[in-house]
Amino acid sequence: MSEQPGVLYVVATPIGNLEDITLRALRILGEVDLIAAEHVPVARALLRHYEITTPVTPYHDRGRDAQRLLDQIQRGQSVALISDAGTPGISDPGRNLIAAAIEADILVTPIPGATAPVALWSVSGAESPRVHIYGFLPRKAGERRKAMQALQTDASPTIIFESPRRVLDTIHDLVNMMPEAQLVIGRELTKLHEQVWRGSPADALKEFAEPRGEFTILISPAALERPGWSDAEISAALEQAASQGASRSQAARFVAQQSGRPRREVYALWPFNQER
């Protein structure tokens, strides 16, 4: 038995094009004692392509699977965790194993590479400096719509995944709930029939009437319309916030969020001569 535990490597694999794998990932996959894979046949196809002979075992994010692998790592073996495509733990099995390894004080090392959300975001042209990665929406219609309601409250884009079996249901919901949203849809990213499409939910229904392949969708909600606040209204709101104990900075931040006015403009309208 080794005196030191092994390492859990979280290894990104291609999302379609087999060339999208790093040299470091190939080295790690060849050096570890064991590869834990979402689906063994998919993993073996990748490993055969690169002539890697490391043993492969299935991992499905269940408690017994995680404990079995942790026991092996604690005995000194190193394990590479991979999903069918992309980076493990992002809407793929892996979260439970990674969390359990951290809890057990095992070294968890990322081997970065391809990931569909970042690939789509990079070509989306989205103006926002930030984006939310949601993953797969709930399968049940009611829960899916409830999740979409939450998306409407944030002006930042959200990236979701969808299968060809459910993508039309999701787009129908977007038509009904977020008709003014702008979509960037990546279908079969990095694969032979890759498509990056931009448009409204209504147009997406026409474009993908017969959906095929895996979908990654960036949803940019329509900007929320806020009534314009006059300088007098801004000053009154700042005075009210100050009366409740807010500092100038705190009050400006709050009123800017409520009014839609730039924070620097709100800050300049502070109605007192001195800081409070």
Concatenated DSSP letters of the chain? --SS--EEEEE-B-SS-TT---HHHHHHHHHSSEEEESSHHHHHHHHHHTT----EEE--S-HHHHHHHHHHHHTT--EEEE-SSB-TTSSSTTHHHHHHHHHTT-EEEEE----HHHHHHHHH----S--EEEEEPPSSHHHHHHHHHHHHT-SS-EEEEE-TTTHHHHHHHHHHH-TT-EEEEEESTTSTT-EEEEE-HHHHHHHTSS--S-EEEEEEPPPPP-PPPPHHHHHHHHHHHHHTT--HHHHHHHHHHHH---HHHHHHT--SSS--
Give the pLDDT confidence of 195-217 residue by residue, as tens digits. 999 999 999 999 999 999 999 99
Angle, helices 231-243/248-259, rounded to nearest 10 degrees? 130
pLDDT at 1: 42
pTM score, whole prediction: 0.76
State the Cα torsion 155-159-165-167 to the nearest 10°.
30
Could you give the domains of the chain?
Answer: 7-114 (3.40.1010.10), 117-220 (3.30.950.10), 231-268 (no CATH)
One digit per residue, the tens of pLDDT, for the chain of length 276 reads 445 789 999 999 999 999 999 999 999 999 999 999 999 999 999 999 999 999 999 998 777 889 999 999 999 999 999 999 999 988 888 889 999 999 999 999 999 999 999 999 999 988 777 889 999 999 999 999 999 988 877 778 999 999 999 999 999 999 999 999 999 999 999 999 999 999 999 999 999 999 999 999 999 987 544 456 888 888 888 888 888 888 888 888 888 877 777 888 888 888 886 554
- What is the DSSP-derived secondary structure letter of residue 86? B
Give the pLDDT confidence of 90-101 residue by residue, as tens digits. 888 888 999 999
Q: Are strands 107-111 and 158-162 parallel, antiparallel or unpaired?
A: unpaired
Residue 252, CA atoms < 13 Å, CB-side half-sphere: 16
Give the pLDDT confidence of 252-270 residue by residue, as tens digits. 888 887 777 788 888 888 8
Provide the token pair at 186: 């990546």
Burial of 173 (0-12, 13-18, 19+ CB in 10 A): middle
Helix (H) or strand (E) holding 187: strand 182-187
pLDDT at 212: 94
